[in-house]
Chain A
Amino acid sequence: MSFASRFTLISLIAAVAVPATALAGPPPQSLFMDNCSACHQPTGKGIKGAFPALAGSALVQGDPTLLTTTVLNGRAGMPAFKDDLSDADLAGILTYARSSWGNKGAPVTAADIAKIRKAPPKARGLQAH
């Protein structure tokens, strides 16, 4: 299978997978609003000097592995979401961010996330600090 046709196939699977996710849980846009927009803003423009813009971001539209790792494990001050989001929900959120505000990144599937995630989400402890 050529790269191009495989890509098409993945896109097709993703296109089918996203509505399935929407049936199972909240739609990707509301997941984004709940989990991301406090910092990155509903417009994806972020807050200057504090939170980077997702709109037009090379990281957001580029290699999904790096993007997924960043959201799962946190980086450069960004929190880790590995214990808060399921593979399906995270796939929905990333796909939403990669295709909104003029972004043109290919969809990400729950299977993609599962490959990158090292451990399943862990319940939070009752206390800290």
Chain B
Amino acid sequence: MDTYAGATTGGVLTRRRFFEGLAAVGGISLALSGMDALGFGMASATELPPELTGGAKGAKIVILGAGLAGMTAAYELSKAGYQVQILEARSFAGGRCQTARKGFQHTDLIGHEQTCDFDEGLYINHGPWRIPYHHRSTLHYTKLFGVLLESFVNDNDAAYVYFEKGKGPLAGKPVRKGEIAADARGYAAELIAKAASKGDLDAALSPADRETFIAYMINEGRLSPKDLAYTGTEGRGFSVHPGAGVDPGPGKELPPFAFKDVLDSKAWRVLTSVSGYEQQRTMLQPIGGMDRIAAGFEKHVGAMIRYSTVVQKIKQNGKGVKIAYKDAFGETGEIEADYCLCTIPLSVLKQIDLDASKPFKAAMEKVSYAPVNKIGLQMKTRFWEEKHHIYGGHIYNDMPGIGTITLPSTGWQSDKGVLLGYYAFGGEAVKVSMKTPAERAAFALAGGQKVFPEYTDSFESAFSFSWHLAEYNLGGWAEWSQDGRKDAYPVLCEPDGRLYLAGEHLSYLGGWQAGAIESAWQQIAKIHARVQQA
């Protein structure tokens, strides 16, 4: 019962101590049922599509948009026997699931025309680009469609961090993330361990726990067990690498930075005890480009898609829906169906003549969309691998408009590579999107040059994309305010007459493909239940 007693010492019964106490008394199972009872359930998010049993009763569904939400719905509904037709404004399927490679064309709303001129085999995922291991819905379809995956390096201790706005000697200097991590955590552990050893933390630690806690700090910070000092550690790197014989022999460890310099640099911003839910260290990407997922769906539902068909009106009454469209030749037409599943982004849908109730339309006004920029830069050498020994991962930085520079997690040690030169959101993205494609590339190069001396010399060609300036998208992803989530979002998750909405914007996985897929799953289950009752 020592541990349970320990959980209450100091008069503070934290949630975590409470669970630890339960585990000590009743074993892990009691702790787990305690977590369930308090709402820390272990139940997972939806990982499989709904089972649509009982037949489609001849119902016809028109789906607006052949992105991942639309194609997911088409795949599952057609399998269940529904008649499905998809209208897609673009000449290709995938929605935001796009990959730019040689010949890919894009003209933005300002009129900037680009044709991707990367070498054969090179590409940039200017839309979605990584799949966290727990996005089981996305992984369900990659497996089902045989889309082969490879690791996406989402964390790399060898990658540089570059923070200009800090102070001290490390500001404005590329420093490897592992060096910052070792020093920040080492020095912090030293302070805490020393305080604990002097008894300064006894209010929070029982005498029995104190020794274990100090041992943990020694382990965490790689401290000397003798004097609890942090004096650097071999994992942060060497100035002379260990090798053969006596020279280089054991090599020469890099000395740690001064604690004050690390603090002043603000580079510790990149460190947290665990990665965020959406930024897990284990991530995946389709081999050959994210649009392999779109292609996987298209293989099964392509015959249902009417391409280059722009929705102009969405009409409905008690009996069905009627969609007016204009095709690539300027010809107009109408399609009738029993129900409509609309996956058009709300930023675009609000401009379409739509039969919907006032509260529904008012709810549509409550969302904003994120401006998002990406640029792929083809480099003639993989200098980041050859000269800097960085294999994938992000160069975190605080350069406005650059956001993140990311090195490719594919084509290791090949001749050339395409890296992500910027990935920026919000107002910073708006500013850069004003520029011509050539100016955007110059902007990206000037940023990367501060980190890698080889950057500009190695540059060959660029392809940039601004989602807010992309017709049929008008934004990277939906952004809900707290009020919007509370009042408007639930309204849009329910049908308005015979109109159902789906997409990442109707999920708490906003901006992720899993959000689009799981939103589609949820809505088709509702349509199916209604058809069964009709």
Report whether B479 and A79 are in contact in the complex, using a CB–CB cutoff of 8 Å. yes
- In the complex with contacts A79-B369, A80-B479, A85-B511 CB distance below 8 A: no
Interface residues of B in 470-490 (CB under 8 A from A): 471, 474-477, 479, 481
Interface contact A126-B468, CB-CB below 8 Å = no
Which residues of the other chain, B, contact A36 by a CB distance below 8 angstroms?
Answer: 430
Q: Does the CB pair B431–A77 fall under 8 Å?
A: no
User: Interface with B: A54-62, A68-76, A97-105, which one?
Assistant: A68-76
Is B494 among interface residues, defined by CB-CB distance under 8 A?
Answer: no
Measured in the bound complex, the distance between the Cα atoms of B489 and A95 in whole Å is 33
Q: Which among B347, B368, B428 has the greatest number of chain A C-beta atoms within 10 A?
A: B368
Report if A79-B370 is in contact (Cβ < 8 Å); known contacts: A50-B471, A126-B270.
yes
> How many inter-chain contacts with C-beta < 8 Å in the A-B complex?
102
Bitwise, A12-27 to B at CB < 8 A (1) or not (0) is 0000000000000000
Which of A37, A39, A49, A128 contacts B425, CB < 8 Å?
A128
Contact B425 A76 (CB under 8 A): no
Confirm or deny: B351 has a beta carbon within 8 angstroms of a beta carbon on chain A.
yes
Closest to A80 in B: B368
Is B433 in the interface zone, CB < 8 Å from A?
yes
Which B residues are CB-close (under 8 A) to A111? none
A84 close to B (CB within 8 Å): yes
Q: How far apart are A73's CB and chain B's nearest CB, in angstroms?
A: 6
Do the beta carbons of A76 and B365 come within 8 Å of each other?
yes
Q: Which of A85, A124, A127 contacts B279, CB < 8 Å?
A: A127
- Judge whether B434 and A34 touch: CB under 8 Å: yes
Q: A35-B427, A79-B430 known; A74 and B109 CB under 8 Å?
A: no
Tell me the interface secondary structure of chain A in the complex.
loop
Which residue of the partner chain, among B128, B396, B475, contacts A77 with CB atoms under 8 Å?
B475
Closest to B366 in A: A75
Beta-carbon contact of A79 and B468 below 8 Å: yes
The smallest C-beta distance from A42 to any residue of chain B, in angstroms, reads 10
Complex contacts, A47 vs chain B, CB 8 Å? 109-110
- CB contacts (< 8 Å) of A74 on chain B: these are 367-369, 479, 481
Determine whether B469 belongs to the interface, using a CB cutoff of 8 Å to chain A.
yes
Complex: A35 Cα to B475 Cα, angstroms? 15
A128 and B346 alpha carbons, distance in the complex (Å): 20
B276 within 8 A of A: yes
Binary interface encoding of chain B residues 420-438 relative to chain A, with 1 for a CB under 8 A from any of its CBs, else 0: 0000011110110110000
The residues in B between 345 and 366 inclusive whose CB is less than 8 angstroms from any CB of A are 345-348, 350-351, 364-366
B99 on the A face (CB < 8 A): no
**Which residues of B90-125 are within 8 A (CB) of A?**
109-110
Q: Does A129 contact B (CB under 8 A)?
A: yes
B51 at the interface (CB under 8 A from A): no
Please state if B434 and A77 are interface contacts (CB–CB under 8 Å): no
CB distance from B323 to the nearest CB of A (A): 18
A4–chain B nearest beta-carbon distance, Å: 34
How far in angstroms is the closest Cβ of chain A from B462?
18
**Any chain A CB within 8 A of the CB of B137?**
no
**Residues of A with C-beta under 8 A to B479:** 74, 79-80
Count of chain A residues near B, Cβ 8 A: 28
Asked if residues B511 and A128 are in contact (CB atoms below 8 Å), the reply is yes
Contact of A127 among B128, B350, B404 (CB under 8 A): B404
Contact in complex: B368, A75 (CB < 8 Å): yes
Would A50 and B366 count as touching, CB distance under 8 A?
Answer: no
Does any Cβ of A come within 8 Å of B391's Cβ? no
- For residue B269, CB closer than 8 A to chain A, the reply is yes
- Whether A35 contacts B512 by the Cβ 8 Å rule is no
Instruction: Please measure, in the bound complex, the distance between the C-alpha atom of A85 and the C-alpha atom of B368, giving whole angstroms.
Output: 16
Q: Considering only CB atoms, which chain B residue lies closest to A34 in the complex?
A: B431
B426 touches A84 (CB 8 A): yes
Q: Are B269 and A49 in contact (CB under 8 A)?
A: no
Bound-state CA distance A129–B278 (Å) is 7
Cβ-based interface call for B60 (8 A): no
Q: Does B394 have its Cβ within 8 Å of any Cβ on chain A?
A: yes
Which of B370, B396, B431, B469 is close to A126, meaning CB atoms less than 8 Å apart?
B396
A33 to chain B, nearest CB (A): 7
| A82-120 interface bits toward B, Cβ cutoff 8 Å, 1 = contact, 0 = none | 011100000000000000000000000000000000000
Interface of chain B residues 214 through 262 with chain A (CB within 8 A): none
Q: Does A9 contact B (CB under 8 A)?
A: no
A38 within 8 A of B: yes
Q: CB-CB < 8 A to B511: which residues of A?
A: 128-129
Chain B residue with the shortest CB-CB distance to A125: B276
Is A67 engaged at the interface, CB distance under 8 Å to the other chain? no
In the bound complex, CA of A128 to CA of B475 (Å): 14
Between A35, A47, A84, the greatest number of chain B beta carbons within 10 A of the residue's beta carbon is seen for: A84
Taking the complex as formed, is B288 at the interface, i.e. its CB lies under 8 A from any CB of chain A? no
Contact partner, A84, options B110, B428, B477, Cβ 8 Å? B428
Are the CB atoms of B434 and A37 closer together than 8 Å? Answer: yes
CA distance A74 to B476 in the complex (A): 14
- Chain A CB within 8 A of B186 CB: no
Which residues of chain B are near A126, meaning CB under 8 Å?
269-270, 396, 404
Check if B371 is an interface residue, CB within 8 A of chain A.
yes
| Min CB–CB distance B308 → chain A (angstroms) | 16
Contact A38–B269 (Cβ < 8 Å): no
> Which of A74, A81, A129 counts the most chain B CB atoms within 10 A?
A129
Knowing A127-B279, A128-B511 touch, does A77 contact B350 (C-beta < 8 A)? yes
Beyond A79-B370, A84-B428: 17 further Cβ-contacts under 8 Å?
Answer: A34-B434, A38-B431, A38-B466, A39-B468, A47-B109, A49-B351, A50-B351, A76-B368, A77-B368, A79-B475, A81-B426, A83-B426, A83-B427, A84-B426, A84-B427, A85-B427, A127-B276
Q: List 13 A-B contacts (CB under 8 A).
A: A34-B430, A36-B430, A50-B351, A73-B481, A76-B347, A76-B350, A77-B369, A79-B370, A79-B475, A124-B428, A127-B278, A127-B404, A128-B425
Q: Hey, which bits of chain B sit against chain A, CB under 8 A?
A: 109-110, 128, 269-270, 276, 278-279, 345-348, 350-351, 364-371, 394, 396, 404, 425-428, 430-431, 433-434, 466, 468-469, 471, 474-477, 479, 481, 511-512
